[in-house]
Amino acid sequence: MNTATIEFEATDISGQKKLRVTRVPEDSSVGELIQGLQTKMNMPSMDVSGRPLTYHALHEQAGRHLNSSERVIDVLKTGDRIVLQPNIDAGGSGSC
């Protein structure tokens, strides 16, 4: 069983909500990490129109979005910083 952990910082897109994240199991997925951070950081779960919000993580140092299926151990290391960003559906739900 892998019990190693990492520590890093997570912020919202505005930078106003910051959280020092500690004791994250390295074998957890980025999706599991995002779910936990969304709750701990009190991020909204609905947009202003009442539609559900989903978030993705931007790895600040690497300048790329992390896939929810990636393992934390493979994409993050102690001292990194991620930014939680809501997924934006620019097209809406209109018909084609």
Structure tokens at 47: 């947009």
Domain of residue 52 covers 5-86
Instruction: Look at residue 51 and tell me whether its pLDDT is greater than 50.
Output: yes
Higher pLDDT, 6 or 74: 74
For 39-76, b/e burial (b = at least 16 CB within 10 A) is: eebebeeeeeeeeeeebbbbbeeeeeebebebebbebb
Name the percent of the chain lying above pLDDT 70. 88
Does residue 13 contact residue 6 with C-beta atoms inside 8 Å? no
| pTM of full prediction above 0.75 | yes
Q: What is the CATH number of the domain that holds 62?
A: 3.10.20.90
State the pLDDT at residue 1.
Answer: 47
**How many domains are there within the chain?**
1
Indicate whether 49 belongs to any domain.
Answer: yes
Pairing of strands 81-86, 5-12: parallel
| CA contacts within 13 A on the Cβ side of 49 | 7
